[in-house]
Amino acid sequence: MLTNNDMITVPQAVGLMIMTILEIGLLILPREVAIYAGSDGWILVIVGGLLALAGSLVLSTLIRRFPGETFIEYSGKVIGKFLSFVVGVGLVIHFTLATSIVIRTFTDVTNAFMLENTPREFIIITQMLLTVYLIRHGIEPTARIAEILFPILIVPIFAMYLIAIPKADFTELLPVFNTPIKSMAMGSLNTMFSFFGVEILLMLGPYLKRPDKIYWTMFVSVGVATLIYLFVVVITFVGIGVQNTKMLIWPGMTIIRMITAPGRVFERLDALAMALWTIASFTTANSLYLTGALTAFHLTKAREFKFFISILFPWIYFIASLPPNIIATEKLVYVVKWGSISVGIIIPFFILLLAVILKKKGGTA
Amino acid sequence: MTNIFSKLYSNKKQELFFERDMSPDKSRKLKTDIAENLNIVNEYLYDCDDVITRIFYMGHTAKHKMALVYIDGMVAMDTVQNEVLKPLMLFARQFPLEYTVGEKFFEMVKEGLLTAGDIKETDNFGDVILGILSGDTILFMDKLEKALVISTRGWEKRGVEEPSTEAVIRGPRDGFTETYRTNVALVRRRLKDPNLKVKTIKLGRHTRTDVGIMYIKGVAKPSIVDEVLKRLNTIDISCVLESGYIEQMIEGDWLSPFPQLRRTERPDVVAASLVEGNVAILCDNTPFALLAPTTFLSLFQSPEDYYERWYIVSMIRILRFIAGFFAFTFPSLYIAMTTFHPGMLPTDLVLSIAAAREGVPFSAVLETLIMIVSLEVLREAGVRLPGPIGQTIGIVGGLVVGEAAVRASIVSPIMVIVVAINAISSFAIPNYSVAISFRLLTFIMIALASIAGLYGIMLGLLGLTIHLVTLKSFGAHYLSPFVSFRFSESKDNIIRGPLPSMEIRPGYTRPQDFDRINDRRHDTIDKAGDERADE
């Protein structure tokens, strides 16, 4: 078992959730919403955020319904041991894939903006080693890291994007409500993908110190993440224009490249942006990797949790170095996003539905 | 990691502490015959020429044989003369004593004759030998199986002086000395609280050093006190010459570059920490006390922070953190920026750096290493040399050699600036141990930056954060209050809030009594009071 006091407090849970959600979306979300809805993109972020909130409500309800149990345990009660095992294996695969693409996307961005000549494998390996060094300590230190790094990430992001405001052209946000409902719906669903990461809640149930405050925790986490995404999208739109946003791979990064720090300390702010991006990617990889190992740990009912960190390591490395180029990585990202929707929201939703119908409930402990 | 190393190096000692103890244990009882007793003492302390045995006869008829044993130089001779020898040899002769040797006689000597302040009786050789070696005087009496341990400790010692490593502009100037009792008294003088407890144990098989822990009962968390005592009792070491031995023996993670106990020379710091719920460890023969648990933040604090006004202190603290950051990252940032990401710097700056580096044959990494290593050598040389020569070394090294190196195109002028800022920043950190750790981390960061530029620096910083987050000092998070954050603690971390607003004690020590300051000014001296004062 894990160390006995491995419990996370409410602020830590909030920090962990936000830091898990925030990553690739910071860079690619402006492009995606621009493609779907043009200048209405920012509405998609709000709708997507609401959808993600609804999804996290399902997960929170499950935690409240089966206190002190992980997804593996309560799904076994509801849909039977075999099916729950299959879903569990699916979860492990999903978290492995998710960790891989987070690390891979980070590597791609680093290769593109910072270290052009550094071998990809070096960046993947160093990033993974750092993650392993942390998650070997358990859940609570991982949450503590997220809690500490949260302000370090958020404050500079706001400061950095705010510098772009004087050059902004707010007419880019017009016209409003000009998009057909169908593409709005598709776009919202796609935006919801950017909130992938909330599914780590499936495994965190028994490790929450205050499971009774889980609704509040999730409301704050998803709400803050939505606001940050909204901010980034709006600033990107007004900063570089909706049409330009559609054509860039990582518009969130490009806008930072364009702005100059006041006082001309730095010619461009990529340095700072890359530093922040490292933090965002690192924290996400941490929680996904940790949750993957945790899932495997609960699935096999093993005694040693750290063992699974080592087992997942080569697979994550292998998958992360698999895509030959950025396009292939993007395709893999879509696989993970669908996986996130299915194992993170659809399957839990059905399990919750079944649990309600069959009147299955966890103990009160 | 720790586990592997401790497994590698553990040579589990089965025998107990006292079995390998050099002095006799307490089971060896005193004999009746005084000559026999002195023989046994001599058995332990033969070839110790500084041990003085004084045999004399007491009483009117000079029939009671007695002996004093002490070590020359460790006892206050006037105490031995006036409080022990004089009463026994002179006063006792002035009137006839009709007692025969026995219990009553012993009581009379102990309670009626000796004028020394602190007397204990003992019946075994363990106490006797330890007493002699600690500077006590032992009084043996013929035909009695008991002896008296008279506290006559007194040796040449340094007076209370201003602490040299923690100087303050405003604040008390007295610092700890090398004498344990003086140090305890310096703290006691500040805390006239019956709840201030002092527990003394002896550590070191050869040195038998007095090591005391101080805490305030009802404030310090009992589990922390127990943990400190438990760890102190596990120490099995041949000698304790400085509190640094204890620090390294009881800290949790000895692979960490950061000290997990705060050391201080100042009694006011100890007093303040005790009130905050810390436990202080005082050690004989050293002016440095240790404080546990410690947080990373407290190593960036100076006692003066609480004596000055809060605006100024807050600004100084923020400056210290900036300096602390530059103290280990500045050269690596320079390397990363110039070799990996020159595009991130303003064009003019890149051009001037390039112009300055023209003619320098080395790469930026090698150039930095040359400068940093020579600076470290200068620092080390300056520490060892006495004051005036140390300054000369500073001037010769810093100005003359630096200028010459730039002229000779071995290093660029910008490099000199970078290294100088790095060094100065590290000395802005109040705690010398941390400053040194940061100087060490500089090298690691330089290595990382030269491998992977800014990404390497981020790796280093994140790795450092992970290390600090998982580090604990006696059960307290090293990074508290930043982890498990509470709003009430936000008034005394990076900034120092106004003193009246700090209503509770910091939470990392989990004090039992949170109540720190109640600002009652507004209840008692309201506006009317001010107006009265105006009149």
Q: State the DSSP string of A187-232.
A: HHHHHHHTTTTGGGHHHHGGGBS-GGGHHHHHHHHHHHHHHHHHHH
Residues of B in contact with A144 (CB under 8 A): 469, 477, 479, 483-484
Residues of B in contact with A282 (CB under 8 A): 462
Q: What is the pLDDT of residue B103?
A: 76
The strands making up B209-216's β-sheet, listed across from edge to edge, are: B196-203, B209-216, B279-283, B289-292, B262-264
pLDDT in tens, B14-71: 333 334 445 556 777 888 888 888 888 888 888 888 888 988 887 767 677 889 999 9
* B520/B164: higher pLDDT: B164
Res. A26: pLDDT tops 50: yes
Q: What is the pLDDT of residue A18?
A: 92
B444's enclosing H/E stretch is: helix B432-470
The 10 Å CB-count burial string (b at 16+, else e) for B297-315 is bbbbbbbbbbebebeebbe
CA distance A15 to chain B (A): 11
* B190/B486: higher pLDDT: B190
Q: What is the pLDDT of residue B11?
A: 46
* B503/A185: higher pLDDT: A185
Q: How far apart are CA A253 and CA B86, in angstroms?
A: 90
A→B interface, C-beta within 8 Å = 9, 11-12, 110, 114-115, 118, 122-123, 126-127, 130, 133-134, 137, 141, 144-145, 147-149, 264-268, 270-271, 274-275, 278-279, 282
pLDDT in tens, B477-500: 888 777 766 666 666 777 787 777
Cβ pair A133:B345 closer than 8 A = no
Q: How far apart are CA A113 and CA A354, in angstroms?
A: 48
Q: Find, in chain A, the residue whose alpha carbon is nearest to that of B350.
A: A267
Q: What is the pLDDT of residue A93?
A: 92
Residues of B in contact with A267 (CB under 8 A): 343-347, 350
> Where is average pLDDT lowest: A299-303, B405-409, B488-492, B531-535?
B531-535
Q: What is the pLDDT of residue A283?
A: 92
Q: How far apart are CA B224 and CA B216, in angstroms?
A: 12
Q: Which of B455, B470, B483 sits opposite A137 (nearest CB)?
A: B470
Cβ pair A110:B455 closer than 8 A = yes
- Give this complex's ipTM: 0.90
Query: What is the average pLDDT score of chain A?
Result: 85
Q: What is the pLDDT of residue B20?
A: 44
Tell me the range of B21-30, B278-287, B498-507 where mean pLDDT is highest: B278-287
Query: What is the average pLDDT score of chain B?
Result: 82
When pLDDT is cut at 50, 70 and 90, the band that residue A133 belongs to is very high
- Of chain A, the end-to-end C-alpha distance in Å amounts to 18
Residues of B in contact with A118 (CB under 8 A): 452, 455
When pLDDT is cut at 50, 70 and 90, the band that residue B461 belongs to is very high
Cβ pair B469:A141 closer than 8 A = yes
SS3 B366: helix
When pLDDT is cut at 50, 70 and 90, the band that residue B10 belongs to is very low
Q: What is the pLDDT of residue A2?
A: 42
**Nearest alpha-carbon partner for A115 in B441, B334, B343, B366:** B343
CA distance A278 to chain B (A): 7
Cβ pair A114:B465 closer than 8 A = no
Q: Which of B345, B346, B482 sits opposite A148 (nearest CB)?
A: B482
Q: How far apart are CA B473 and CA B231, in angstroms?
A: 12
Cβ pair B344:A270 closer than 8 A = yes
* A75/A289: higher pLDDT: A289
Cβ pair A133:B466 closer than 8 A = yes
SS3 B198: strand
When pLDDT is cut at 50, 70 and 90, the band that residue B507 belongs to is low
**Mean pLDDT calculated for residue range A295-316:** 88
% of chain B with per-residue pLDDT over 70: 86
Q: How far apart are CA A333 and CA A327, in angstroms?
A: 10
Output the pTM of the full model.
Answer: 0.85
Q: Find, in chain B, the residue whose alpha carbon is nearest to that of A13.
A: B484
Q: Which of A123, A149, A268 sits opposite B455 (nearest CB)?
A: A123
The pair of three-digit structure tokens given for residue A329, joined into one six-digit string: 């990585």
Q: How far apart are CA B58 and CA B88, in angstroms?
A: 6
Res. B466: pLDDT tops 70: yes
Q: What is the pLDDT of residue A95?
A: 92
Residue of B296, B325, B470, B479 best to disrupt the A interface, most CBs of A under 10 A: B470
Cβ pair B337:A271 closer than 8 A = yes
State whether residue B337 sits within 8 Å of chain A by CB. yes
pLDDT in tens, A212-239: 888 999 999 999 999 999 998 888 888 8
Q: How far apart are CA B149 and CA A46, in angstroms?
A: 83
From chain B residues 3-42, the ones with a CB under 8 A of any chain A CB are: none
CA angle A78, A80, A81 (to 5 degrees): 125
A288's enclosing H/E stretch is: helix A270-300
Res. A4: pLDDT tops 60: no
State whether residue B223 sits within 8 Å of chain A by CB. no
Cβ atoms of B287 and B265 closer than 8 Å: yes
The alpha-helical segments, DSSP class H, found in A66-138 are 71-79, 81-113, 120-135
**Mean pLDDT calculated for residue range A29-40:** 85
Q: Find, in chain B, the residue whose alpha carbon is nearest to that of A143.
A: B483
The matching CATH number, chosen from 3.40.50.720, 1.20.1740.10, 3.30.70.2740, 3.20.20.140, for A10-358 is 1.20.1740.10
Res. B390: pLDDT tops 80: no
**Mean pLDDT calculated for residue range B289-300:** 88
Tally of CB atoms within 10 A around B256: 17
Cβ pairs A/B, distance under 8 A: 84
When pLDDT is cut at 50, 70 and 90, the band that residue B467 belongs to is very high
State whether residue B258 sits within 8 Å of chain A by CB. no
SS3 B91: helix
pLDDT in tens, A50-81: 988 988 888 888 888 888 888 888 888 888 88
Backbone angles phi, psi at B51, to 5 degrees: -85, 125
- Which residues lie closer than 8 Å to A8 by C-beta, 6 or more apart? A16, A139, A140, A143, A204, A207, A208, A209
* Region of B415 on the Ramachandran plot (φ > 0 left; ψ -120 to 50 alpha; else beta): alpha
By the 10 Å C-beta count (0-12 exposed, 13-18 middle, 19+ buried), A209 is classed as middle
When pLDDT is cut at 50, 70 and 90, the band that residue B527 belongs to is low
CA distance B464 to chain A (A): 10
CA distance B517 to chain A (A): 27
Residue of A5, A108, A131, A144 best to disrupt the B interface, most CBs of B under 10 A: A144
Q: Classify residue B90 by its DSSP letter.
A: I
Cα A276 to Cα A82, A144, A156, A194: the distances in Å are 43, 18, 8, 18
CA distance B340 to chain A (A): 7
Res. A245: pLDDT tops 90: no
Give the sign of the dihedral formed by CA B353, CA B356, CA B361, CA B362: negative
Cβ pair B459:A130 closer than 8 A = yes
Residue of A109, A132, A134, A258 best to disrupt the B interface, most CBs of B under 10 A: A134
When pLDDT is cut at 50, 70 and 90, the band that residue A288 belongs to is very high
When pLDDT is cut at 50, 70 and 90, the band that residue B330 belongs to is very high
Residues of B in contact with A257 (CB under 8 A): none
Q: CA A357 from chain center: how many Å?
A: 31
Q: What is the pLDDT of residue B253?
A: 84
Res. B353: pLDDT tops 50: yes
Q: In chain B, what are the domain boundaries?
A: 17-150, 180-306, 314-470
The 10 Å CB-count burial string (b at 16+, else e) for B203-234 is bbbebbbbbbbbbbeebbbeebbebbeebbee
Residues of A in contact with B488 (CB under 8 A): none
Q: What is the pLDDT of residue A318?
A: 93
pLDDT in tens, A336-352: 888 888 887 888 888 88
- Of chain B, the end-to-end C-alpha distance in Å amounts to 70
State whether residue B459 sits within 8 Å of chain A by CB. yes
Q: Find, in chain A, the residue whose alpha carbon is nearest to that of B1.
A: A133
Cα B252 to Cα B6, B409, B470: the distances in Å are 12, 47, 11
State whether residue B345 sits within 8 Å of chain A by CB. yes
Tell me the range of A245-259, A304-318, B62-76 where mean pLDDT is highest: A304-318
* B289/B432: higher pLDDT: B289
Cβ pair B462:A114 closer than 8 A = no
Cα B277 to Cα A46, A228, B225: the distances in Å are 48, 40, 10
When pLDDT is cut at 50, 70 and 90, the band that residue B99 belongs to is low
pLDDT in tens, B355-364: 888 888 888 8
**Mean pLDDT calculated for residue range A274-283:** 88
> Where is average pLDDT lowest: A21-25, A268-272, B156-160?
A268-272
Q: How far apart are CA B1 and CA A151, in angstroms?
A: 30
Q: Find, in chain B, the residue whose alpha carbon is nearest to that of A264.
A: B346
When pLDDT is cut at 50, 70 and 90, the band that residue A127 belongs to is very high
When pLDDT is cut at 50, 70 and 90, the band that residue B528 belongs to is low
Give rounded-to-5 percent helix, strand, coil for chain A: 80, 0, 20
Residues of B in contact with A266 (CB under 8 A): 344-346
Res. A115: pLDDT tops 70: yes
Q: What is the pLDDT of residue A266?
A: 67
Cβ pair A271:B454 closer than 8 A = yes
Res. A365: pLDDT tops 50: no
Give rounded-to-5 percent helix, strand, coil for chain B: 50, 15, 35
SS3 B292: strand
When pLDDT is cut at 50, 70 and 90, the band that residue B295 belongs to is confident
SS3 B150: strand
Residues of B in contact with A278 (CB under 8 A): 455, 458, 462
Q: How far apart are CA A280 and CA A24, in angstroms?
A: 9
B207's enclosing H/E stretch is: none
**Mean pLDDT calculated for residue range A313-322:** 92
Residues of B in contact with A275 (CB under 8 A): 454, 457-458
The 10 Å CB-count burial string (b at 16+, else e) for A135-160 is bbbbbbbbbbbbbbbbeebbebbeeb
**DSSP tally for chain B: helices H, then strands E:** 18, 12
Q: Find, in chain B, the residue whose alpha carbon is nearest to that of A10.
A: B484
Residue of B483, B488, B493 best to disrupt the A interface, most CBs of A under 10 A: B483
Backbone angles phi, psi at B345, to 5 degrees: -90, 155
Cβ pair B466:A270 closer than 8 A = no
